[in-house]
Structure 1
């Protein structure tokens, strides 16, 4: 079955078996390996599911980057401590502009406060926006007024990666690279590999046709062991995807590229 922890482990094992090395996002930004994958995790909710993915990565010999939100369903100190103890990167999944309802000054103060909080667990040097699909505010817009590098942040995946060099794969909406159900988690890229299932990704990996640099973004709440919870996640996410399709049609969100923000960052 797809979107199980067992299937996730098969995915990262296939990456290793086919010559990919693993780097955290912060290490990738500093100096990327020649053939490398960044295992990025947006921990939106069901925070404990990140531990299952983290353990699978350790068993395979991989490392991941875990971006935690400030909200209680993500921000669980015991989970974050365990992620760090496993050797993974902990980072901030920010949504301050949305929380401040578009008030830039208030959002920036929230951002600084929350960044300081997460640095109690790990020396956070990377951040990533939370898409907040139901919110009309794009959390990345805060960087039109401020500069995240002022606080020793070295990278943000939507601004600091050339996606014509790095193939980006995301499970947003519990589907792979489906732009119809992804409000903001999408990038402008020249790559076009059709993906419907995790097995499709594994086949592409084994074919040797994928680029040498990958970022795979998973949301731990999309993954579970097969059972009642797996069925519930499937049904609930299917309903959410219908809503997101409508939002995308109404609002017409487009991909954001580095050039949109280069004047400030």
Structure 2
């Protein structure tokens, strides 16, 4: 069976349901601090219909997860956002305001305030916006989470930010960034500061969704966070092939960016 299809994701959900793991949203994890759980988090970067399809699939299994929406025309679709919220999924804000403000934090915080307000208007009377998560554009030099070096997201009624609020010494982190679960040195922005829990498993042993399923079936790790980008999971062969080719080209570029920035950092250290 092809990987990164909706059917393969269903296999993953089925595997989770057969274990003693509970599933939770980012907000529920931060609020309740549960043990033996899998945090399901999605970044709504593009292809909004694929996100909706994944949300419906999870809902059919009685699973709630977190969907972080970018404030761009392609993904900021109020009716779809409300539809997903009514399924019980957490709706969060996928902010990219340092990129939009060209690195100016004062301008960025005003953009953040306005865009968060826009999203809260969409979800009014349906659900609350309790967590936010930065979007990482590998072509931009800024990290959007750096906004919080000067400001505090709690001032906006936000409980947490998964890159900053989850202790990854205690939570095993897996992401499908690059359309693979393996860390192939292509993660430019999707990195965590304290990946201590990831030392429990050989990083070379997990690359496919089947590998993730096998890990979950062992129930050896008490807490797992899965970051899944629904736009990468496509059922029809045409779309699946297009996504594969697009991501392979993108990965080459991202690997080059990582290599270049590592060289720059090493030069700064030696000088």
Alignment TM-score, normalising by the size of structure 1:
0.92
Which residue is 1:189 aligned to? 195
> How many correspondences in the alignment?
252
User: What's the CA shift string for 1:7-35, capped at 9, x where partnerless?
Assistant: 11111111121111111111110012221
Instruction: Give SS of 1:173's match.
Output: coil
- For structure 1, the residue ranges without an aligned partner over 5 or more in a row are 254-265
Q: CA deviation at 1:179?
A: 4.6
Q: Structure 1 runs of 4+ off > 4 angstroms?
A: none
1:180 partner SS: coil
1:199 aligns with 2:204: no
2:254 is aligned with 1:248: no
Deviation at 1:203, TM superposition (A): 0.8
Q: Is there any run of 5+ residues in structure 2 with no aligned partner, and where? A: 264-271
Distance 2:150 2:262 in 1: 23
* TM-fit CA distance, 1:143: 0.8
Matches within 5 A, 1:1-265: 1-120=2-121, 121=123, 122-187=127-192, 188-190=194-196, 191-192=198-199, 193=201, 194-209=205-220, 211-252=221-262
TM normalised by structure 2 equals 0.90
Point out the structure with max Rg over C-alpha. Answer: 2
Kept after mapping to 2: 8 A contact 1:179/1:186: no
How far did 1:177 drift? 3.9
Matched position secondary structure for 2:66: strand
d(CA) in 2 for partners of 1:177, 1:15: 20
Q: Which has the higher helix share?
A: 2
